[in-house]
Structure formats: structure tokens, C-alpha cells
Amino acid sequence: MADWFKQLILAEKRTALSALRKGISAFVFPASVLSVLVATSRYDEIPQVMHFLLPLLLFCGGLVFLGIYLIVHAILRIRRYDQLVRIIKQRHSLIAELID
């Protein structure tokens, strides 16, 4: 019984790690977009491009908040799954030898 449960927990942990990776990429993407804007900003005047800049900044802010949410949620899930693995290791000595 514990073997399928262990596999399920480890699969869920891999899913949480994937969500963490997506959260990091969603968090970092606005920084790359804004760095391109700063590099090309000498050609533009802010009042002339404000109608493009404001929606872009709102979108980047949304991505930052989404990234923070995904990162925090994934870290909490990973900690929970690690705790479940520890409980399984304590209850089943044979599995404790297989899981490091």
C-alpha cells in the first residue's frame, strides 16, 4: 500500500516543482521586457508612447503577481509533500532505505 502512495506523493512533488519553475519564469519575464524598453527608450518620449506603455506595465505587474503567487504556492506544496514523505519513512522502514 505504501508504495503507490509514495509514488503519488513524489509525482505531486514533481508537479509542484514544475509550478515553481513556471512561477519563476513568469516573475522574471517582465524584467526582460522592461530591460528592452530601457535599452530602446532613448528613441521615444514618454508622453508619446504612454498609450502603449501603461497597458504593458499593467501586464508586467500582473505577471509579477502571478509569479509570486505560483512560487509561494509551490513552495508550500513542496514542504507539505516533504513532510508526507518523512511520515512514510518513519512508518515504513523498508521504504526509508529506498528514499533518500
Number of domains in the chain: 1
Does residue 4 carry a pLDDT above 80?
Answer: no
6 CB-near residues (< 8 Å, 6+ apart): 85, 88, 95, 99
Judged against a pLDDT cut of 80, whether residue 98 lies above it is answered with: no
pLDDT single digits (tens) 32-84? 888 888 777 776 777 887 888 889 889 999 999 999 999 999 999 999 988 98
> Hey, what's the cell of 56?
504593458
Q: Is 35 exposed, middle or buried (0-12, 13-18, 19+ CB in 10 A)?
A: exposed
**How many other C-beta atoms can be found within 10 angstroms of the C-beta atom of residue 33?**
14
Whether the pTM exceeds 0.85: the reply is no
Tell me: pLDDT of 94 over 70: no
Determine the Cα angle at 62 with ends 37 and 56, to 5°. 30
Q: Residue 76 belongs to what domain range?
A: 2-98
pLDDT of residue 95: 61
